[in-house]
Amino acid sequence: MKGMADFSRPGSLYGAVDLGARKQALESQARREAAGPQAASSASIVDVTEETFTTDVIDRSMTVPVVLDLWSPRAPGSSQLSPVLEKVVGDLGGKAVLAKVNVDASPQIAQALRVQAVPTVLAIFQGQAVTGFQQVLPEQEVRRWLDELMAAVEQFYQANPAARPPDQEGGEPQEEPVGPPADPDMVAAEQAIDRGDFDAAIESYQRLLARVPGDEDAKMALAGVNLLKRTSEVDPADVQRRAQDPADIDAQLLAADLEMLNGSVDEAFARVIAVIKRTSGDDRDKARRHLLGLFEALPAEDPSLAKARRALASALF
């Protein structure tokens, strides 16, 4: 269940506006690939038990993201995924911690986290599970997931500078990046989002785009706020119940919105494309336009977009 798409409300790190973190993740991946392979840096890797979980995972997550590997010697997938996790987390050079939990030896941890199968990977930050997946992924996909996590963590610190640790694993204090002053409409939109005024945020982004039509960040942010507005007053449990009926198109589209908010981008696209395949006329056009709106929430170079656009073309023609 990649992205932990259970229709629950996203945590503080993930939400529609933070879908922009995917752009940062892609840029980070491109820089890494351009630099070529590098030796993995030593990173914190710890075996966790029920007795040490609070200290090694919860307490530590207040200053650094903890990648929780819930594994079992009985699960073949664990032997495939665990070495990949050790490698990609090790490449971060201590900016994240890998905490390994043998669920056979520590079943209470798995029960408390409602783990249904192994391997399961969860990212814990600020004491909360913020994202994760439950399947064996290739190294490239694991790296992309981890890049998105680290980009979202950085966004959290930028929004909450007082929460940033004075140093990182003994390193020097991080200086705030110097850049051009923020666009006033962008600032106004972000302030409106903070106070829950989605209509005002939408107006601010629209003003910005009227002045700078090619501003990709503003386009993504506008699509993200529209996502927040559409889902701000819905009951995720009710949407999940209604979405059991394939004929309830409105429920299917809302379910896709909630999947986007939870980071399950591919699942959201697949859901709407399935609606397009089995409908016609106004219903099909409604679903198509909704999907195009979801596309706007991602950077143009996101690989999920290329895949979804091909699937959409196949569904339409």
Residues 145-153 have a mean pLDDT of 91
Mapping DSSP onto H, E and C, the string for 136-178 reads CCCHHHHHHHHHHHHHHHHHHHHHCHHHCCCCCCCCCCCCCCC
Average pLDDT, the chain: 81
The pLDDT, as a whole number, for residue 2 is 36
Residues 288-306 have a mean pLDDT of 89
At 136-146, the pLDDT tens digits run 888 889 999 99
Give the span between the Cα atoms of 19 and 13, in whole angstroms.
10
Of all residues in the chain, the percent with pLDDT exceeding 90 is 36
pLDDT at 120 over 90: yes
Q: Which domains does the chain have, with CATH numbers?
A: 17-163 (3.40.30.10), 184-316 (1.25.40)
Residues 54-62 have a mean pLDDT of 89
* Whether the Cβ atoms of residue 61 and residue 14 lie closer than 8 Å to each other: no
Confidence of residue 167 (pLDDT cuts 50, 70, 90): low
pLDDT at 310 over 50: yes
pLDDT at 249 over 60: yes
Region for 177 from its dihedrals, namely left if φ exceeds 0, alpha if ψ lies in -120 to 50, beta otherwise: beta
- E strands, 14-119, are 44-48, 66-71, 97-102
The answer to whether the Cα torsion of 67, 72, 77, 82 is positive or negative is positive
Confidence of residue 5 (pLDDT cuts 50, 70, 90): very low
The pLDDT, as a whole number, for residue 146 is 92
Residues 14-27 have a mean pLDDT of 41
Q: Exposed (0-12), middle (13-18) or buried (19+): which is 309, by Cβ within 10 Å?
A: middle
Confidence of residue 181 (pLDDT cuts 50, 70, 90): low
The pLDDT, as a whole number, for residue 308 is 92
Give the span between the Cα atoms of 97 and 183, in whole angstroms.
36
* Whether the Cβ atoms of residue 83 and residue 50 lie closer than 8 Å to each other: no
* Whether the Cβ atoms of residue 289 and residue 34 lie closer than 8 Å to each other: no
